[in-house]
Copies of this chain bind each other. A is one copy, B any other.
């Protein structure tokens, strides 16, 4: 079976996703023209997949689909995601993301930090507007998890002594937590029974891990054009991801990742590490790990009521595993 394109997968919910897009646009209209400009630049459709709001909408499809609650929540998870990217770019001093110049590069670090703060608050405000205490509490816990994960990554930059369990734990905090917020809130806001919510939590959790592993492989094997940003960024930042861990295991002696992490004096090591990973079985092995998480994400979806959204969740998991960007 050929893989579906994202637009095909999204098609049944395209109209609702367009309403999320409208909500995002409406959040850009504020008193200050300076802030409006920043908001429009960062929230407008920009080649992002709008994956997290789609997960919220899909997770809301199994019981009482209520757009009055799901739209603000779906908008909130996308805004929260955007805020974390803006802070990440400021911290990493990244100039490009998704093929566009970053807020950090265009407006400077100060604006990027404050805009991120504003967007966290905006996302919190939208979440609060659902009046759902479960979603509200989960929102705050998710932001704690994400910033803990980022801090963890920062404290472990250029640290070679990290286990695969450390890596997975960080991925859960950095990435899977927000996937879980997206699915769990969608399920909770549509009055799903607890067992159904847990199936969607399991989906979000494992899909998030699979997603991040694929991201980390693409940082080695994709082209800059596909990524919309420079290749090898994780190694530049000293972030030890699964492909680099596998490379260290395969070549415990003289190893460009080890050289780079220990000395940080020769960027040629980064180029060599990328080449060695590409020429090895490591991408395939990483994809196998990702595929296991993806399968785990989907294994209990059949416990949900039969509904087209179930098929979409399956297709989405498949798509995310095979994506090139």
Contact = CB atoms under 8 A, between A and B. Distances in A.
A172 to B, nearest CB: 12
A121 B133 contact: no
Interface of A: 30, 32, 34-35, 38, 87, 90-91, 109-111, 113-118, 120-122, 124-125, 127-129, 131, 133, 136-137, 139-144, 146-148, 150-152, 154-155
B87 A117 contact: yes
Please provide the 9 A-B residue pairs with the shortest distance between their CB atoms, ordered closest to farther.
A121-B143, A125-B140, A124-B140, A118-B147, A117-B147, A121-B144, A34-B155, A91-B110, A128-B137
B151 A114 contact: yes
Nearest to A123: B140
Contacts of A32: 148, 151-152, 155
A114 B147 contact: yes
8 contacts: A30-B148, A91-B113, A114-B151, A117-B150, A118-B151, A120-B121, A122-B144, A125-B144
Contacts of A109: 91, 109
A117 B114 contact: no
Contacts of A139: 124, 128
Contact of A121 (B34, B91, B116, B140): B140
Main secondary structure of the interface of A (DSSP, over half): helix
Contact of A90 (B113, B115, B122): B113
A227 to B, nearest CB: 22
Contacts of A35: 148, 151-152
Contact of A143 (B34, B124, B136, B151): B124
Nearest to A157: B110
Nearest to A138: B128
A219 B123 CA distance: 35
A116 B122 CA distance: 16
Contacts of A137: 125, 128-129
A216 B142 CA distance: 37
A117 B119 CA distance: 11
Given A87-B117, A125-B144, A128-B139, 20 more contacts: A30-B148, A32-B152, A32-B155, A35-B151, A38-B151, A91-B109, A115-B151, A117-B147, A117-B150, A118-B144, A120-B120, A121-B141, A121-B144, A122-B140, A122-B144, A124-B140, A125-B141, A128-B133, A128-B136, A129-B137
Contacts of A120: 117, 120-121, 143
A114 B154 contact: yes
Nearest to A38: B151
Nearest to A153: B114
Nearest to A131: B133
B91 A151 contact: no
A12 B214 CA distance: 58
Nearest to A152: B32
A147 B155 CA distance: 27
